[in-house]
Amino acid sequence: MINLVVVGGQWGDEGKGKIVDLLCPAFSHVARFNGGNNAGHTVRFADRHLALHLIPSGITHPHCRCLVGPGVVIDPVALVNEIRTLEGQSIDVRKRLLLSARAHLTLPGHRLLDGAREASKGRGRIGTTGRGIGPTYETRAARTGVRLGLVRNPRRFREAVAVTCAELDRLLGCAGSEARPAAEDIEASIAAALELAPMVGDTAVALAQAVSRGEPILFEGAQGTFLDIDHGTYPYVTSSNCLAGFAAPASGLPARVLGGVLAVFKAYTTRVGEGPFPTEMTDSLGDHIRRRGNEFGTTTGRPRRIGWFDAVAGRTAVRLNGIDAVALTKLDVLDEMAAIRIATAYRSGEQLLDRLPDDDAELARLDPVYEELPGWRTDTASVTSFDRLPQPAQSYVRRLEELLGVPVCLVSTGPRREETIFRELEPFTSWVPQLGERH
Ligand code: IMP
Q: What is the CATH number of the domain that holds 272?
A: 3.90.170.10
Report H helices in 43-96.
76-88
Specify the residue with its C-alpha closest to ligand 1, atom 5: 128
Ligand 1 contacts CB of residue 32 (under 6 A): no
Looking at residue 359, its pLDDT comes to: 85
Over residues 75-131, the pLDDT tens digits come to 999 999 999 999 999 999 999 999 999 999 999 999 999 999 999 999 899 999 999
* Mutation probe of ligand 1 site: the residue of 75, 272, 298 with most atoms within 8 A of C-beta: 272
| Domain range for 357 | 265-438
Pair (133, 164) in one structural domain: yes
Quickly state the pLDDT bin for 51 (edges 50, 70, 90): confident
Residue 206 predicted with pLDDT over 80:
yes
Specify the residue with its C-alpha closest to ligand 1, atom 2: 238
State the closest ligand 1 atom to the C-alpha of 275, by its place in the atom list counted from 1.
10
Mean pLDDT to the nearest integer, 189-217 = 98
Looking at residue 290, its pLDDT comes to: 97
Pair (322, 290) in one structural domain: yes
Pair (213, 159) in one structural domain: no
Report H helices in 178-325.
183-196, 203-213, 247-251, 284-292, 311-321
Ligand 1 contacts CB of residue 128 (under 6 A): yes
Percent of the chain residues topping a pLDDT of 70: 99
Looking at residue 324, its pLDDT comes to: 98
Catalytic site residue from 41, 53, 61, 110 = 41
Mean pLDDT to the nearest integer, 25-46 = 91
- Whether 41 is catalytic is yes
* Mutation probe of ligand 1 site: the residue of 128, 139, 270, 298 with most atoms within 8 A of C-beta: 128
Ligand 1 contacts CB of residue 13 (under 6 A): yes
Ligand 1 contacts CB of residue 28 (under 6 A): no
Mean pLDDT to the nearest integer, 157-181 = 97
- Looking at the structure of the chain, the number of domains it has is 3
3-state DSSP assignment of residue 58: helix
Looking at residue 47, its pLDDT comes to: 75
Pair (111, 159) in one structural domain: yes
pTM, two decimal places: 0.96
Looking at residue 404, its pLDDT comes to: 98
CATH code of 86's domain: 3.40.440.10
Pair (285, 429) in one structural domain: yes
Ligand 1 contacts CB of residue 164 (under 6 A): no
Say how many Å lie between the CA of residue 12 and the centre of ligand 1: 8
Over residues 331-341, the pLDDT tens digits come to 999 999 999 99
Residue 299 predicted with pLDDT over 80:
no
CATH code of 174's domain: 1.10.300.10
Catalytic site residue from 13, 21, 114, 324 = 13
373 in Cβ contact with 392 (< 8 Å): yes
Ligand 1 contacts CB of residue 12 (under 6 A): yes
Mean pLDDT across the chain: 95
Say how many Å lie between the CA of residue 238 and the centre of ligand 1: 6
Looking at residue 436, its pLDDT comes to: 53
* Mutation probe of ligand 1 site: the residue of 54, 114, 238, 265 with most atoms within 8 A of C-beta: 238
Ligand 1 contacts CB of residue 133 (under 6 A): yes
Pair (84, 205) in one structural domain: yes
Q: Which of 162, 195, 228 is the last residue of a domain?
A: 195
Looking at residue 223, its pLDDT comes to: 97
Ligand 1 contacts CB of residue 106 (under 6 A): no
State the closest ligand 1 atom to the C-alpha of 130, by its place in the atom list counted from 1.
3
N-to-C CA span, the chain: 18
Pair (291, 252) in one structural domain: no
25 in Cβ contact with 57 (< 8 Å): no
Ligand 1 contacts CB of residue 240 (under 6 A): no
Mean pLDDT to the nearest integer, 423-433 = 91
Pair (239, 299) in one structural domain: no
Say how many Å lie between the CA of residue 249 and the centre of ligand 1: 22
Ligand 1 contacts CB of residue 109 (under 6 A): no
Specify the residue with its C-alpha closest to ligand 1, atom 8: 238
4 in Cβ contact with 260 (< 8 Å): yes
Residue 438 predicted with pLDDT over 60:
no
Looking at residue 439, its pLDDT comes to: 46
Q: How many residues does the chain have?
A: 439
Q: Which of 195, 222, 242 is the last residue of a domain?
A: 195
Quickly state the pLDDT bin for 142 (edges 50, 70, 90): very high
Strands (E), 330-395: 339-348, 351-353, 367-374
| Burial class for 226, CB neighbours closer than 10 Å (0-12, 13-18, 19+) | buried
Pair (188, 204) in one structural domain: no
Pair (214, 83) in one structural domain: yes
Pair (157, 251) in one structural domain: no
- Whether 49 is catalytic is no
Ligand 1 contacts CB of residue 131 (under 6 A): yes
Pair (376, 397) in one structural domain: yes
Q: Which of 151, 173, 195 is the last residue of a domain?
A: 195
- CA angle (206 as vertex; 204, 210 as ends), nearest 5: 115
State the closest ligand 1 atom to the C-alpha of 240, by its place in the atom list counted from 1.
2
